[in-house]
Structure 1
Amino acid sequence: MAQKGFYYDSTVCTGCKACQIACKDKNDLKVGELFRKVYEFEGGTFPNVWGYYLSLGCNHCKEPKCAENCPTGAIYKRESDGLVVQDREKCIGCKMCIWSCPYERPQYLEEQGKCGKCDGCADLVDQGLNPVCVDTCPLRAIEFGDIEELRKKYGANYNLKVLPGANITKPSITVKAKPEAMN
């Protein structure tokens, strides 16, 4: 199975949140519901200050705890491309996926009484297209494809200070990060 995943270049991201907004629009999410979120980090003391952004959707982990712990099988890993997707009809809103994901990416959808998550825009991927976050980024800070190919091209870095559980879930991401973000 070819595992699809994301490359993210934190060194060029300006935090514009176009990826976050495009995802929100595509998935018709309400206020406070985000399948992709742009996080901001800053620190240091003058004159040595630093800051960076991190755009995260589902990491389509090799060992997704959200799928492993879903009691109804609503969240599962597609065999064709490794995307971690959801059958929302099967979701009972128990929030086990939210509690299981170390990246806090599944979201509770209040109006529906169910959980939802980034599915890598599986419907678009099935048509040979990119997820909306990729094509929306004005600086091309996000790329999508076979994770092994992306790692060959950019390196296999996902060991950031702010990413808990990387050794537990084996996320299908690779990140070009500023030194301040690294473990």
Structure 2
Amino acid sequence: MGQKGFFYDMTACTGCKTCQIACKDKNNLAVGVLFRKVHSFEGGKYPAPWVYPLSISCNHCAKPECVAVCPTSALTKRPQDGIVTQSREKCIGCRACVRSCPYQAPQYIEKEGKAGKCDLCADLIDQGQNPACVDACLMRTLQYGDIKKLKKDWGGTADVKGLPDSGLTSPSLVIRPNKQARP
């Protein structure tokens, strides 16, 4: 198995946030905590304004900053598929991962006094299923799989307006950007 990651087709996404809701429900997250976020970006001016959604979660980076800075090794990268997982038992709530991630993927969960993040629904993947956000997407704009195959099948980039330079962490993310989102 190779590095797992996400493909996101920005050209077909309506910004409905169903993926965000499915993730929140699957992970039983409290109000204000989101492991997948759908952002909205807008610009331009009349007569040519533009707006586009961007659905983003943990990108299970090749060089994850969160793993590098975690003092207790609560965050690790699975060798078999590159998924960045978390041991909530080992987390001490120091928020080093929250501060280090350029994608703002780890979230501090006040009620628990610990951080949490998307684990690509590793439990579902281990059972041969898709991540919750992928199955919930009404427009089928989200897919997951081997990142090399996703890049080959769909092309695209990990660099769009609104995201940090992909050279920082080498995210396992492929985006088909719409024309307004191209850097």
Shorter-chain TM-score bucket reads over 0.9
- 2:79 paired residue number: 79
User: 2: distance between equivalents of 1:141 and 1:122?
Assistant: 20
User: 1: distance between equivalents of 2:42 and 2:143?
Assistant: 24
Q: One-letter code of the match for 1:108?
A: Y
How far residue 156 of structure 1 moved from its aligned partner, in angstroms, is: 4.3
User: 1: distance between equivalents of 2:138 and 2:155?
Assistant: 23
Q: Is the 8 A contact 2:33 2:107 kept in 1?
A: yes
- 1:20 paired residue number: 20
- 2:69 paired residue number: 69
How far residue 96 of structure 1 moved from its aligned partner, in angstroms, is: 0.2
Q: One-letter code of the match for 1:160?
A: V
Q: Is the 8 A contact 2:156 2:176 kept in 1?
A: no
* Unmatched runs of 5 consecutive residues or more in structure 2: none
- 2:162 paired residue number: 162
TM-score with structure 2 length normalisation? Answer: 0.98
- 1:55 paired residue number: 55
User: 1: distance between equivalents of 2:161 and 2:140?
Assistant: 23
Q: One-letter code of the match for 2:49?
A: V
Q: One-letter code of the match for 1:40?
A: S
Paired residues in the alignment total 183
Superposition pairs for residues 34-183 of structure 1, below 5 Å? 34-183=34-183
- 1:3 paired residue number: 3
User: 2: distance between equivalents of 1:40 and 1:117?
Assistant: 21
* Unmatched runs of 5 consecutive residues or more in structure 1: none
Q: Is the 8 A contact 2:23 2:132 kept in 1?
A: yes
| Structure 1 residue ranges (4+ consecutive) displaced by more than 4 angstroms after TM superposition | none
User: 2: distance between equivalents of 1:119 and 1:159?
Assistant: 22
Q: Is the 8 A contact 2:159 2:165 kept in 1?
A: no
- SS of equivalent to 1:169: coil
User: 2: distance between equivalents of 1:46 and 1:21?
Assistant: 33
How far residue 165 of structure 1 moved from its aligned partner, in angstroms, is: 3.9
Encode CA deviations 1:10-41: one digit per residue, 9 max, x unaligned: 11111110000000001010000000000001
User: 1: distance between equivalents of 2:161 and 2:36?
Assistant: 19
Identity of aligned residues (%): 57
How far residue 161 of structure 1 moved from its aligned partner, in angstroms, is: 2.1
TM-score with structure 1 length normalisation? Answer: 0.98
